[in-house]
Amino acid sequence: MRKSVLILNTGGTISMRATERGFAPDPDFLGRLKNIVADPDFAPGLDVQFAEMTPLLDSSNMEPGDWRRIADEITRLGEKADGVLLLHGTDTLAFTASALSFLLEPSRLPVIITGSQIPMSEADSDGLSNVQGALAALAEDRSRDVFVWFGGRLMKGNRTTKVHSFGLAAFDAPRMRGRDAKPGELRAALPNVEEGRAMAQVGLLKLYPGISGAVVDALVDSGLQGLVMECYGAGNGPDLNTGFMAALKRAVDAGVVVVAVSQCHFGSVDLYRYATGRALADIGIISGSDMTVEAAVTKLQVLLSLTSDIPAVAEAMTQDLRGEVTIT
């Protein structure tokens, strides 16, 4: 029996062409792609349908509200499909992949996200090979989860990060140890789900020598509800920087959920390994273990959009809800 696949285009490099102002959306892209995919040797065993988001976006312009809009379109248009191939720009592709893993219920169908580093309108584009590879992966008996296909590799979506600005092997999943997503776990982790809440405002802060507490205060004053902090190594911070530590404590006391992840590509956070990490734990910073930055940011945004119960969100951030974190 032939499988049905929906290709949903959101924009990005893959669907662009050269203009006087640089690469911009190509209005003829979808028609050209349809003609290519119509070749019976291109996607054997698949019936492929096509749709586009409006407006098409360079992924640099993607915002949290767009993740929810894409999730709604996948749910609506994918009702009669066995899988969805999402075309997306590369700059924030890993954020969207992570966000969708939390926004979509994984009991329905597999979603694979791909794009390209070079527009398909260019002779040396990697776009066509990425589309064909992703379709071939969807033709297999694929687990119902969100994946990224890029440069000949299939990676779990919420374990993926962009590692190259120009190279064709643009994505990697250096911490890819997560299990398959299981339905129901995300909402079950929250005792008080509140429907209709807007996507939360979450900040991202990378530690650097000499960081000031004023940076944290400014973020908190902007109204954010969550903060992901890229710490040194295994989750260490400048515990002798009293101004910075006091600002973090003020943020936690104000109800901001602060999650520590590592600046390193490999490994994980252990706040109890060093005294400098323990100092963070003592003021209420939560360990993000081996979550990617993208997974931590989007998970925190989705959870905070489901409930105002801060202790419940803090607890859920330490749980494996979609295979995004390794619990030891």
> Please, what is the end-to-end C-alpha distance for the chain in angstroms?
41
Catalytic residue of the set 10, 13, 160, 161: 13
19 is catalytic: no
Place of tokens 């989705």: 302
Residue 291 corresponds to which tokens in the numbers above?
Answer: 């979550």
SS (H, E, C) the chain: CCEEEEEEECCCHHHEEEECCEEEECCCHHHHHHHHHCCCCCCCCEEEEEEECCCCCCHHHCCHHHHHHHHHHHHHHHHHCCEEEEECCCCCHHHHHHHHHHHCCCCCCCEEEECCCCCCCCCCCCHHHHHHHHHHHHHCCCCCCEEEEECCEEEEHHHCEECCCCCCCCEECCCCCCCCCCCCHHHHCCCCCCCCCCCCCEEEEECCCCCCHHHHHHHHHCCCCEEEEEEECCCECCCCCHHHHHHHHHHHHCCCEEEEEECCCCCCCCCCCCHHHHHHHHCCCEECCCCCHHHHHHHHHHHHHHCCCHHHHHHHCCCCCCCCCCCC
Rounded CA-CA distance 140/171 in Å is 22
**Residue 108, CA atoms < 13 Å, CB-side half-sphere:** 18
Q: Which residues are catalytic?
A: 13
